[in-house]
């Protein structure tokens, strides 16, 4: 049976299966506050936010004094909203069933204020309700606003919060923060416009642009892996790394989200946020300290150092695809054109692959290959660092072409872990080489499930820790890099869609992108 011990310095010792793991724990300490969720009856709130808050409540990571106001257009009282919260826990919470008293204490923290978030007249009522609940819960005027709404509503909410003075604490000494979900803009111009609107109402340190990928345990652990261990840092550069592959593959299709996906596509949906965040964490320089601004500075330097693509280079460095009919897990799967709500001749990409270079001292000349797509063979998100091959093979008659490079893989999903592929002699009298892997699995090592990403991110927002969130200059720079690709892809298409079958590993054009350099994609 696992045993966990702790001391006053925050060190923990996990004794598991005869292996002792020593760690230093530093949990954020959130202050009392009121949380306002715009879009309280929406899918994100029910599936993610309410279960995340409940798990934090069960783990006693929330402050003693807190409350939630749900904001939505549906007319209901507090009791009606609490029934929605209870149904959310029944349907989506993965925590062990709590006792009725604990569950009731949680539900009593939820309140509701119906109204139109785009109507100026709603916000004086919201301010009055906040003041009432602040007094009842003694929260000191600390407020967190969560925009769990469609992006088209962001501007109106932000404007109204500013006009009513809700962008600052009524107590003077408290804090006010706002969480904005992705997508943050649909192109460079819209992202800059939204940045300006936010900046007119909130200071940058109040703004939390959320990307749930950054809340995943393995994504967070990239920083710890790189900068808390000395073994890999000396070889984490162009002298020893051959190339890096970053993959986010999904087996699912668009799941009845045609209204969103027809406007977005794979490049907007996955690259501008998720994949570029992984790229920055893998490529960034060591920050001076583990503080939000220091980490954000280094991430911005990576995006700023990306070699810009001209319109003529897009066709050589970028590939797009769209899935047609095929099969997934032995079951037939329709093509994108047959998905409900999709135009029968849609040119939206469901797959994209890029080759990018980082023009700096560490990575000059080293290609980073990024790919993401829907309806692929497997669900895989990973960063694979392929090291250079040995310069001279000593073990004749084995040919050097048979020796594959050492590869370090940081797996984000479906299983979170780290593996390192090595060459070793196969047992026996013959001189045979074999490839072996050293694997580390989070759940197997720590004997605890990884928390949901929203738990980590909500806790950080409440504690005022912005390390895992996007800064306004990073957002603008990421869109700036993608604009030549988006502009080129708006032109009459030179590719014929669909160009890969559902259940395959993507279009042949993506294979050609990497194989021209004498490399291959990792199998999904």
pLDDT tens per residue across span 303-328: 999 999 998 899 999 999 999 999 99
What average pLDDT does the segment 458-483 reach?
Answer: 93
DSSP class of residue 432? -
Pick the residue with more confidence: 286 or 445?
286
Convert the pLDDT of each residue in 8-52 to its tens digit: 444 444 333 333 344 555 566 788 999 999 999 889 999 999 999
What average pLDDT does the segment 465-479 reach?
Answer: 93
Distances (CA, A) of 295 to 227, 288, 310, 470: 12, 8, 29, 11
User: Is 446 exposed, middle or buried, given 0-12, 13-18 or 19+ CB atoms closer than 10 A?
Assistant: middle
What token pair was written down for 399?
A: 């040919």
What token pair was written down for 5?
A: 């011990």
Convert the pLDDT of each residue in 219-234 to its tens digit: 878 888 899 888 999 9
- pLDDT-derived band at 215 (thresholds 50, 70, 90) equals confident
Asked if residues 25 and 10 have their Cβ atoms less than 8 Å apart, the reply is yes
User: What is the distance between the alpha carbons of residues 351 and 206, in angstroms, rounded to a whole number?
Assistant: 35
User: What is the distance between the alpha carbons of residues 114 and 64, in angstroms, rounded to a whole number?
Assistant: 26
CA-based nearest residue to 222, from 250, 244, 207, 249: 244
Residue 381: predicted pLDDT = 94
- 274 given a catalytic annotation: yes
- pLDDT-derived band at 97 (thresholds 50, 70, 90) equals low
* Residue showing tokens 């609107």: 197
- Same topology, domains 33-181 and 214-419+476-515? Answer is no
User: What is the distance between the alpha carbons of residues 395 and 424, in angstroms, rounded to a whole number?
Assistant: 12
- pLDDT-derived band at 395 (thresholds 50, 70, 90) equals low
User: What is the distance between the alpha carbons of residues 143 and 139, in angstroms, rounded to a whole number?
Assistant: 9
Convert the pLDDT of each residue in 59-77 to its tens digit: 899 999 999 999 999 999 9
- pLDDT-derived band at 96 (thresholds 50, 70, 90) equals low
Percent composition of the chain: helix, strand, coil (DSSP 3-state, to 5): 35, 25, 40
Q: Which of 111, 243, 274, 307 is catalytic?
A: 274
For the cut 70, the answer to whether the pLDDT of residue 91 exceeds it is yes
Provide, rounded to the nearest whole percent, the portion of the chain with pLDDT above 90.
67
Provide the residue ranges of all domains of the chain, joining segments of one domain with +. 33-181, 214-419+476-515
Q: Cβ of 21: how many Cβ atoms within 10 Å?
A: 14
What token pair was written down for 289?
A: 């300290």
Q: Which residues pair with 244 in a beta bridge?
A: 368, 385
Pick the residue with more confidence: 388 or 15?
388
Residue 94: predicted pLDDT = 72
Asked if residues 323 and 375 have their Cβ atoms less than 8 Å apart, the reply is yes
Spell out the CATH class of 214-419+476-515: alpha beta
CA-based nearest residue to 43, from 150, 126, 179: 150
User: What is the distance between the alpha carbons of residues 472 and 299, in angstroms, rounded to a whole number?
Assistant: 12
Query: At a CB cut-off of 8 Å and minimum separation 6, what does 214 contact?
Result: 220, 277, 453, 457, 468, 469
What token pair was written down for 237?
A: 């550069």
User: Is 170 exposed, middle or buried, given 0-12, 13-18 or 19+ CB atoms closer than 10 A?
Assistant: middle
Residue 388: predicted pLDDT = 93
Residue 392: predicted pLDDT = 73
- pLDDT-derived band at 95 (thresholds 50, 70, 90) equals low
For the cut 90, the answer to whether the pLDDT of residue 55 exceeds it is yes
Q: In what order do the strands lie in the sheet with 11-16?
A: 3-6, 11-16, 19-24
Output phi, psi for 355, to 5 deg.
Answer: -115, 120
Query: At a CB cut-off of 8 Å and minimum separation 6, what does 495 contact?
Result: 320, 321, 509
User: What is the distance between the alpha carbons of residues 110 and 87, in angstroms, rounded to a whole number?
Assistant: 13
What average pLDDT does the segment 80-88 reach?
Answer: 95
Residue 30: predicted pLDDT = 86
Residue 401: predicted pLDDT = 56
What average pLDDT does the segment 428-444 reach?
Answer: 72
* Residue showing tokens 């797959």: 351
- Mean of all residue pLDDT scores within the chain: 88
User: What is the distance between the alpha carbons of residues 342 and 360, in angstroms, rounded to a whole number?
Assistant: 42
Residue 11: predicted pLDDT = 44
Query: At a CB cut-off of 8 Å and minimum separation 6, what does 373 contact?
Result: 249, 250, 266, 321, 323, 350, 351, 352, 500, 506
Mean pLDDT check: name the lowest of 185-199, 219-233, 333-347.
Answer: 219-233
Residue 491: predicted pLDDT = 84
Q: Which helix (H) or strand (E) holds 501?
A: strand 500-501
Length of the chain: 524
CA-based nearest residue to 246, from 271, 210, 229: 271
User: What is the distance between the alpha carbons of residues 295 and 314, in angstroms, rounded to a whole number?
Assistant: 30
In three-state secondary structure terms, 305 is: helix
- pLDDT-derived band at 447 (thresholds 50, 70, 90) equals low
User: What is the distance between the alpha carbons of residues 524 and 512, in angstroms, rounded to a whole number?
Assistant: 17
Cis peptide before 486 (omega within 30 of 0): no
Pick the residue with more confidence: 5 or 477?
477
Asked if residues 366 and 244 have their Cβ atoms less than 8 Å apart, the reply is yes
Pick the residue with more confidence: 275 or 24?
275
> In the CATH scheme, what architecture does the domain 33-181 have?
3-Layer(aba) Sandwich (3.40)
Q: Cβ of 83: how many Cβ atoms within 10 Å?
A: 13
DSSP class of residue 95? S
Asked if residues 63 and 142 have their Cβ atoms less than 8 Å apart, the reply is no
């Amino acid at each position: 049976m696992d045993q966990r011990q702790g001391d006053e310095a925050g060190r923990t010792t996990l004794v598991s299966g005869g292996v002792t793991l020593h760690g230093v724990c530093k949990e954020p300490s959130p202050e009392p506050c009121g949380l306002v969720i715009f879009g309280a009856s929406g899918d994100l709130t029910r599936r993610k936010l309410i279960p995340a808050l409940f798990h934090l409540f069960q783990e006693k990571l929330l402050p003693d004094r807190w409350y939630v106001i749900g904001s939505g257009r549906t007319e209901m009282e507090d009791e009606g909203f609490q029934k929605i919260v209870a149904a959310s826990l029944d349907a989506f919470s993965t925590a062990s069933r709590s006792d009725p008293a604990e569950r009731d204490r949680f539900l009593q923290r939820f309140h509701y204020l119906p109204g139109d978030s785009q109507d100026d007249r709603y916000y004086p009522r919201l301010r009055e309700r906040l003041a009432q609940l602040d007094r009842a819960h003694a929260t000191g005027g600390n407020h967190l606003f969560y925009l769990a709404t469609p992006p088209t509503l962001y501007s109106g909410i932000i404007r109204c919060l500013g006009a009513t003075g809700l962008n600052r604490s009524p107590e003077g000494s408290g804090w006010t923060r706002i969480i904005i979900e992705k997508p943050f803009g649909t192109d460079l111009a819209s992202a800059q416009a939204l940045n300006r609107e936010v900046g007119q109402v909130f200071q940058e340190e109040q703004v939390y642009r959320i990307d749930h990928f950054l809340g995943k345990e393995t994504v967070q652990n990239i920083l710890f892996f790189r900068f808390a261990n000395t073994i890999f840092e000396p070889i984490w550069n162009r002298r020893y790394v051959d190339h890096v592959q970053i993959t986010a593959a999904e087996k699912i299709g668009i799941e009845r989200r045609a209204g969103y996906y027809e406007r977005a596509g794979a490049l907007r949906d996955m690259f501008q946020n998720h994949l570029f965040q992984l790229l920055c964490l893998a490529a960034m320089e060591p920050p001076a300290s583990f503080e939000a601004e220091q980490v954000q500075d280094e991430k911005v330097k990576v995006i700023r150092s990306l070699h810009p693509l001209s319109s003529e280079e897009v066709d050589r460095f970028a590939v797009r695809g769209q899935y047609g009919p095929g099969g997934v897990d032995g079951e037939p799967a329709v093509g994108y054109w047959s998905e409900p709500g999709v135009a029968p001749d849609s040119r939206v990409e469901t797959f994209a692959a890029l080759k990018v270079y980082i023009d700096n001292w560490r990575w000059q000349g080293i290609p980073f290959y990024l790919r993401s797509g829907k309806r692929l063979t497997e669900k895989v998100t990973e960063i694979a660092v392929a090291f250079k091959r040995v310069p001279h093979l000593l073990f004749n008659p084995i040919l050097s072409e048979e020796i594959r490079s050492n590869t370090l893989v940081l797996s984000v999903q479906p299983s979170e872990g780290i593996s390192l592929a090595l060459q070793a002699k196969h047992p026996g009298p013959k001189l045979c080489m074999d490839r072996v892997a050293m694997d580390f699995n989070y759940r197997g090592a720590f004997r605890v499930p990884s928390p949901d990403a929203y738990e980590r991110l909500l806790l950080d927002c409440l504690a005022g820790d912005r390390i895992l969130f996007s800064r306004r200059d990073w957002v603008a720079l990421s869109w700036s890099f993608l604009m030549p690709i988006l502009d080129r892809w708006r032109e009459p298409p030179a590719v014929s869609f669909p160009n890969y079958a559902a259940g395959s590993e993507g279009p042949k054009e993506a294979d050609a992108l990497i194989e021209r350099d004498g490399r291959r994609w990792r199998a999904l």
